[in-house]
Amino acid sequence: MKKIILSLILLSTTAVAYDQAALMHAYNSVVMIRGYQENGSLGYGSGVIVGENEIVTNCHVLRGTKKPWVSQGDTTYSIVSVKSNAWHDLCLLEVHNLNRTPIPLGTSVLNKNDEVVGIGHSNGAPVPLTIGGLIIATYPNQNGNLILSSAKFRLGASGSGLFNMNGELVGINTFKTTGYGTYYAVPVEWLKELMAKKEYDEFPIDGKALWEEDEDKKPYYLRIAIPKAKMEWDKVVPLAKEWTKTEPNNTEAWYELGYAYLSMEKYIEAKEAFLKSNQCDKNNIDPLFELAKLFKEDDPNVAYAYYQKLNQINMDKALEIKDLFEK
Protein backbone atom coordinates (compact mmCIF):
# COMPACT_ATOMS: atom_id res chain seq x y z
CA MET A 1 0.00 0.00 0.00
CA LYS A 2 2.76 2.46 0.94
CA LYS A 3 4.56 1.90 -2.38
CA ILE A 4 1.35 2.60 -4.30
CA ILE A 5 0.66 5.79 -2.34
CA LEU A 6 4.20 7.05 -2.78
CA SER A 7 4.01 6.37 -6.50
CA LEU A 8 0.95 8.62 -6.68
CA ILE A 9 2.89 11.39 -4.96
CA LEU A 10 5.82 11.09 -7.34
CA LEU A 11 3.64 10.92 -10.44
CA SER A 12 2.04 14.23 -9.44
CA THR A 13 5.39 16.04 -9.39
CA THR A 14 8.03 17.05 -11.91
CA ALA A 15 11.79 17.02 -11.49
CA VAL A 16 11.65 18.88 -8.19
CA ALA A 17 13.76 17.60 -5.30
CA TYR A 18 11.62 15.74 -2.78
CA ASP A 19 12.14 13.79 0.40
CA GLN A 20 10.52 10.38 -0.03
CA ALA A 21 10.64 9.39 3.64
CA ALA A 22 9.33 12.79 4.74
CA LEU A 23 6.40 12.61 2.31
CA MET A 24 5.52 9.17 3.63
CA HIS A 25 5.60 10.61 7.14
CA ALA A 26 3.24 13.37 5.93
CA TYR A 27 0.88 10.72 4.57
CA ASN A 28 0.92 8.87 7.90
CA SER A 29 0.21 12.08 9.82
CA VAL A 30 -3.26 12.50 8.31
CA VAL A 31 -6.31 11.28 10.24
CA MET A 32 -10.10 11.37 9.91
CA ILE A 33 -12.35 13.43 12.19
CA ARG A 34 -15.89 12.15 12.74
CA GLY A 35 -18.91 13.16 14.75
CA TYR A 36 -22.68 12.82 14.80
CA GLN A 37 -24.57 15.98 13.92
CA GLU A 38 -27.67 17.27 15.72
CA ASN A 39 -29.86 15.76 12.98
CA GLY A 40 -28.29 12.34 13.53
CA SER A 41 -26.16 12.29 10.39
CA LEU A 42 -22.47 11.39 10.56
CA GLY A 43 -20.17 14.26 9.63
CA TYR A 44 -16.53 13.82 8.75
CA GLY A 45 -13.39 15.71 7.83
CA SER A 46 -9.63 15.40 7.99
CA GLY A 47 -6.91 16.37 10.44
CA VAL A 48 -3.12 16.39 10.77
CA ILE A 49 -0.97 15.27 13.71
CA VAL A 50 1.02 18.38 14.62
CA GLY A 51 2.16 17.80 18.20
CA GLU A 52 2.30 15.25 20.96
CA ASN A 53 -1.31 14.06 21.17
CA GLU A 54 -2.34 17.13 19.11
CA ILE A 55 -4.30 17.23 15.85
CA VAL A 56 -5.31 20.26 13.80
CA THR A 57 -8.50 20.42 11.75
CA ASN A 58 -10.97 23.01 10.51
CA CYS A 59 -13.49 24.25 13.06
CA HIS A 60 -16.30 24.00 10.51
CA VAL A 61 -15.73 20.22 10.51
CA LEU A 62 -16.77 20.17 14.17
CA ARG A 63 -19.90 22.33 13.95
CA GLY A 64 -23.06 20.73 15.18
CA THR A 65 -21.32 17.90 17.02
CA LYS A 66 -20.80 17.75 20.77
CA LYS A 67 -18.66 14.62 20.87
CA PRO A 68 -16.41 14.13 17.83
CA TRP A 69 -13.66 11.51 17.68
CA VAL A 70 -10.53 10.76 15.66
CA SER A 71 -9.82 7.65 13.61
CA GLN A 72 -6.87 6.32 11.66
CA GLY A 73 -7.40 3.01 9.95
CA ASP A 74 -9.27 0.74 12.35
CA THR A 75 -8.15 2.67 15.44
CA THR A 76 -10.20 5.38 17.13
CA TYR A 77 -9.08 8.01 19.62
CA SER A 78 -11.10 10.07 22.05
CA ILE A 79 -10.75 13.86 22.15
CA VAL A 80 -9.79 15.30 25.52
CA SER A 81 -9.96 19.05 24.80
CA VAL A 82 -10.05 21.65 22.04
CA LYS A 83 -8.58 25.08 21.36
CA SER A 84 -10.21 27.11 18.62
CA ASN A 85 -9.98 30.19 16.45
CA ALA A 86 -13.27 30.21 14.56
CA TRP A 87 -12.31 33.18 12.35
CA HIS A 88 -9.17 31.38 11.17
CA ASP A 89 -11.27 28.18 10.97
CA LEU A 90 -8.67 26.22 12.96
CA CYS A 91 -9.25 23.88 15.88
CA LEU A 92 -6.49 22.12 17.79
CA LEU A 93 -7.59 18.83 19.33
CA GLU A 94 -5.90 17.14 22.26
CA VAL A 95 -6.29 13.40 21.78
CA HIS A 96 -5.87 10.64 24.36
CA ASN A 97 -2.91 8.27 23.91
CA LEU A 98 -2.26 9.06 20.23
CA ASN A 99 1.39 7.90 20.29
CA ARG A 100 2.28 9.24 16.83
CA THR A 101 5.23 11.34 15.67
CA PRO A 102 4.00 14.84 14.72
CA ILE A 103 4.67 16.37 11.32
CA PRO A 104 7.28 19.16 11.09
CA LEU A 105 5.82 22.63 10.54
CA GLY A 106 7.06 24.70 7.62
CA THR A 107 6.10 28.18 6.43
CA SER A 108 3.47 29.73 4.17
CA VAL A 109 6.17 31.89 2.56
CA LEU A 110 6.10 30.14 -0.80
CA ASN A 111 6.91 30.93 -4.41
CA LYS A 112 4.51 30.68 -7.32
CA ASN A 113 4.76 27.33 -9.12
CA ASP A 114 6.27 25.65 -6.05
CA GLU A 115 5.18 22.03 -5.90
CA VAL A 116 2.91 21.00 -3.03
CA VAL A 117 1.03 17.87 -2.02
CA GLY A 118 -2.44 17.78 -0.51
CA ILE A 119 -3.23 14.71 1.61
CA GLY A 120 -6.69 14.14 3.07
CA HIS A 121 -9.83 12.02 3.20
CA SER A 122 -11.58 13.45 0.13
CA ASN A 123 -15.10 12.05 -0.26
CA GLY A 124 -14.67 10.27 3.07
CA ALA A 125 -12.21 7.74 1.64
CA PRO A 126 -11.07 5.34 4.39
CA VAL A 127 -7.41 5.94 3.49
CA PRO A 128 -6.01 9.40 2.70
CA LEU A 129 -5.84 10.46 -0.94
CA THR A 130 -2.80 12.27 -2.32
CA ILE A 131 -3.06 15.08 -4.87
CA GLY A 132 -0.11 17.05 -6.21
CA GLY A 133 -0.39 20.67 -7.28
CA LEU A 134 1.32 24.02 -7.70
CA ILE A 135 1.21 27.26 -5.76
CA ILE A 136 -0.90 29.71 -7.77
CA ALA A 137 -0.64 32.66 -5.37
CA THR A 138 -0.24 33.58 -1.72
CA TYR A 139 -2.01 36.47 0.01
CA PRO A 140 -0.67 38.10 3.19
CA ASN A 141 -3.24 37.88 5.97
CA GLN A 142 -2.70 38.29 9.72
CA ASN A 143 0.88 37.04 10.17
CA GLY A 144 0.64 34.40 7.46
CA ASN A 145 -0.12 33.89 3.80
CA LEU A 146 -3.43 32.45 2.66
CA ILE A 147 -2.46 29.87 0.02
CA LEU A 148 -4.17 29.36 -3.35
CA SER A 149 -3.03 26.13 -5.01
CA SER A 150 -4.08 23.67 -7.69
CA ALA A 151 -3.95 20.74 -5.24
CA LYS A 152 -7.57 19.63 -5.40
CA PHE A 153 -9.60 18.47 -2.43
CA ARG A 154 -13.22 17.52 -1.96
CA LEU A 155 -15.82 17.05 0.77
CA GLY A 156 -14.16 15.24 3.64
CA ALA A 157 -10.74 16.81 3.09
CA SER A 158 -11.44 20.00 5.04
CA GLY A 159 -8.74 20.14 7.69
CA SER A 160 -6.31 18.09 5.61
CA GLY A 161 -2.67 18.96 5.13
CA LEU A 162 -0.92 20.89 2.38
CA PHE A 163 2.75 19.88 2.39
CA ASN A 164 5.89 21.05 0.62
CA MET A 165 8.20 18.54 -1.04
CA ASN A 166 10.22 18.22 2.16
CA GLY A 167 7.14 16.86 3.91
CA GLU A 168 6.61 19.99 6.01
CA LEU A 169 3.10 21.25 6.71
CA VAL A 170 2.66 24.67 5.06
CA GLY A 171 -1.12 25.05 5.24
CA ILE A 172 -4.40 23.43 6.20
CA ASN A 173 -6.81 22.87 3.29
CA THR A 174 -9.94 24.76 4.25
CA PHE A 175 -12.24 26.01 1.49
CA LYS A 176 -12.75 26.33 -2.24
CA THR A 177 -14.92 28.31 -4.59
CA THR A 178 -17.60 25.71 -5.20
CA GLY A 179 -17.53 24.28 -8.69
CA TYR A 180 -14.74 26.51 -10.01
CA GLY A 181 -11.56 24.72 -8.98
CA THR A 182 -9.80 27.24 -6.75
CA TYR A 183 -8.48 25.66 -3.56
CA TYR A 184 -7.40 27.59 -0.47
CA ALA A 185 -5.35 26.61 2.55
CA VAL A 186 -4.96 28.72 5.69
CA PRO A 187 -1.33 29.30 6.75
CA VAL A 188 0.60 27.12 9.17
CA GLU A 189 1.57 30.29 11.08
CA TRP A 190 -2.03 30.54 12.30
CA LEU A 191 -1.69 27.02 13.69
CA LYS A 192 1.47 28.03 15.55
CA GLU A 193 -0.45 30.90 17.17
CA LEU A 194 -3.26 28.53 18.17
CA MET A 195 -0.79 26.06 19.70
CA ALA A 196 0.46 28.87 21.97
CA LYS A 197 -3.07 29.70 23.15
CA LYS A 198 -3.68 28.80 26.80
CA GLU A 199 -7.49 28.92 26.91
CA TYR A 200 -9.57 25.85 26.01
CA ASP A 201 -13.04 25.79 24.45
CA GLU A 202 -16.01 23.45 24.46
CA PHE A 203 -17.97 21.55 21.83
CA PRO A 204 -19.85 22.32 19.71
CA ILE A 205 -17.62 24.93 18.07
CA ASP A 206 -19.44 27.92 16.61
CA GLY A 207 -18.47 31.17 14.90
CA LYS A 208 -18.09 32.51 11.38
CA ALA A 209 -14.86 31.90 9.47
CA LEU A 210 -13.15 34.55 7.34
CA TRP A 211 -14.16 32.83 4.10
CA GLU A 212 -17.81 32.93 5.22
CA GLU A 213 -17.80 36.70 5.62
CA ASP A 214 -20.36 38.82 3.73
CA GLU A 215 -19.24 39.15 0.12
CA ASP A 216 -18.64 42.90 0.25
CA LYS A 217 -16.45 42.48 3.35
CA LYS A 218 -14.20 39.73 2.00
CA PRO A 219 -10.66 40.48 0.80
CA TYR A 220 -10.56 41.42 -2.87
CA TYR A 221 -8.74 38.24 -3.86
CA LEU A 222 -11.74 36.26 -2.63
CA ARG A 223 -14.31 38.63 -4.10
CA ILE A 224 -12.91 38.22 -7.61
CA ALA A 225 -12.48 34.43 -7.40
CA ILE A 226 -15.89 33.34 -8.68
CA PRO A 227 -16.41 35.98 -11.41
CA LYS A 228 -12.89 35.23 -12.64
CA ALA A 229 -13.59 31.50 -12.73
CA LYS A 230 -16.85 32.21 -14.58
CA MET A 231 -14.93 34.54 -16.97
CA GLU A 232 -17.21 37.45 -16.10
CA TRP A 233 -14.54 40.01 -16.88
CA ASP A 234 -16.92 42.95 -16.75
CA LYS A 235 -17.35 42.11 -13.05
CA VAL A 236 -13.67 41.41 -12.40
CA VAL A 237 -12.41 44.75 -13.79
CA PRO A 238 -14.25 47.07 -11.35
CA LEU A 239 -13.33 44.84 -8.39
CA ALA A 240 -9.68 44.73 -9.46
CA LYS A 241 -9.67 48.51 -9.95
CA GLU A 242 -10.98 48.97 -6.41
CA TRP A 243 -8.29 46.60 -5.21
CA THR A 244 -5.50 48.59 -6.89
CA LYS A 245 -6.81 51.82 -5.39
CA THR A 246 -7.04 50.30 -1.91
CA GLU A 247 -3.66 48.55 -2.19
CA PRO A 248 -1.68 50.40 -4.89
CA ASN A 249 1.51 48.45 -4.18
CA ASN A 250 -0.09 45.02 -4.35
CA THR A 251 1.37 43.09 -7.30
CA GLU A 252 -1.54 40.62 -7.36
CA ALA A 253 -4.13 43.40 -7.60
CA TRP A 254 -2.47 44.84 -10.70
CA TYR A 255 -1.95 41.40 -12.20
CA GLU A 256 -5.63 40.48 -11.83
CA LEU A 257 -6.63 43.77 -13.46
CA GLY A 258 -4.23 43.09 -16.32
CA TYR A 259 -5.45 39.54 -16.76
CA ALA A 260 -9.06 40.70 -16.95
CA TYR A 261 -8.17 43.32 -19.58
CA LEU A 262 -6.17 40.74 -21.51
CA SER A 263 -9.13 38.38 -21.52
CA MET A 264 -11.26 41.23 -22.90
CA GLU A 265 -8.62 41.80 -25.62
CA LYS A 266 -7.85 45.27 -24.26
CA TYR A 267 -4.13 44.86 -24.81
CA ILE A 268 -2.96 48.42 -24.06
CA GLU A 269 -4.74 48.48 -20.69
CA ALA A 270 -3.51 44.95 -19.97
CA LYS A 271 0.10 45.90 -20.68
CA GLU A 272 -0.11 48.94 -18.40
CA ALA A 273 -1.52 46.87 -15.53
CA PHE A 274 1.08 44.11 -15.97
CA LEU A 275 3.85 46.73 -15.93
CA LYS A 276 2.47 48.07 -12.64
CA SER A 277 2.35 44.52 -11.26
CA ASN A 278 5.97 43.98 -12.27
CA GLN A 279 7.02 47.26 -10.65
CA CYS A 280 5.44 46.15 -7.38
CA ASP A 281 7.30 42.83 -7.40
CA LYS A 282 10.10 42.17 -9.89
CA ASN A 283 10.04 38.46 -9.03
CA ASN A 284 6.33 37.85 -9.66
CA ILE A 285 6.42 35.37 -12.52
CA ASP A 286 2.86 36.01 -13.75
CA PRO A 287 3.30 39.57 -15.11
CA LEU A 288 6.74 38.61 -16.48
CA PHE A 289 5.10 35.77 -18.40
CA GLU A 290 2.39 38.01 -19.88
CA LEU A 291 4.73 40.94 -20.62
CA ALA A 292 7.11 38.67 -22.53
CA LYS A 293 4.24 37.66 -24.81
CA LEU A 294 2.69 41.13 -25.14
CA PHE A 295 5.97 42.83 -26.10
CA LYS A 296 6.98 40.10 -28.57
CA GLU A 297 5.62 41.92 -31.62
CA ASP A 298 6.10 45.55 -30.52
CA ASP A 299 9.59 45.30 -29.03
CA PRO A 300 11.28 41.88 -29.30
CA ASN A 301 14.30 43.01 -27.27
CA VAL A 302 12.16 44.08 -24.33
CA ALA A 303 10.13 40.89 -24.65
CA TYR A 304 13.29 38.79 -24.57
CA ALA A 305 14.51 40.61 -21.47
CA TYR A 306 11.27 39.70 -19.68
CA TYR A 307 11.64 36.11 -20.88
CA GLN A 308 15.23 35.91 -19.60
CA LYS A 309 14.17 37.28 -16.21
CA LEU A 310 11.35 34.73 -16.05
CA ASN A 311 13.77 31.95 -16.95
CA GLN A 312 16.10 32.99 -14.13
CA ILE A 313 13.28 32.85 -11.59
CA ASN A 314 11.28 29.85 -12.79
CA MET A 315 12.51 27.70 -15.65
CA ASP A 316 9.34 25.60 -15.75
CA LYS A 317 7.17 28.67 -16.37
CA ALA A 318 9.59 30.03 -18.97
CA LEU A 319 9.50 26.70 -20.75
CA GLU A 320 5.84 27.35 -21.61
CA ILE A 321 6.86 30.18 -23.96
CA LYS A 322 10.34 28.99 -24.92
CA ASP A 323 9.32 28.43 -28.56
CA LEU A 324 8.57 32.15 -28.94
CA PHE A 325 12.17 33.06 -28.19
CA GLU A 326 14.42 30.06 -28.78
CA LYS A 327 14.03 28.22 -32.05
> Which residue out of 29, 84, 88, 89 is catalytically annotated?
89
Phi first, then psi, for residue 20 (nearest 5°) are: -60, -45
Query: What are the distances in angstroms from CA 200 to CA 97, 186, 196?
Result: 19, 21, 11
> Which residue out of 29, 60, 122, 160 is catalytically annotated?
60
Confirm whether 108 is a catalytic residue: no
> Which residue out of 29, 108, 158, 277 is catalytically annotated?
158
CA neighbours closer than 13 Å in the CB half-sphere of residue 121: 25
The two counts, helices (H) then strands (E), for the chain are 13, 12
Sign, CA dihedral 293-294-295-298, equals: positive
Q: What is the DSSP code string of 152-196?
A: ---TT-TT-EEE-TTS-EEEEEEEEETTTTEEEEEEHHHHHHHHH
Confirm whether 158 is a catalytic residue: yes
CA 45 and chain centroid, separation: 17
Q: Are 118 and 161 in contact (CB under 8 A)?
A: yes
Residues noted as catalytic: 60, 89, 158
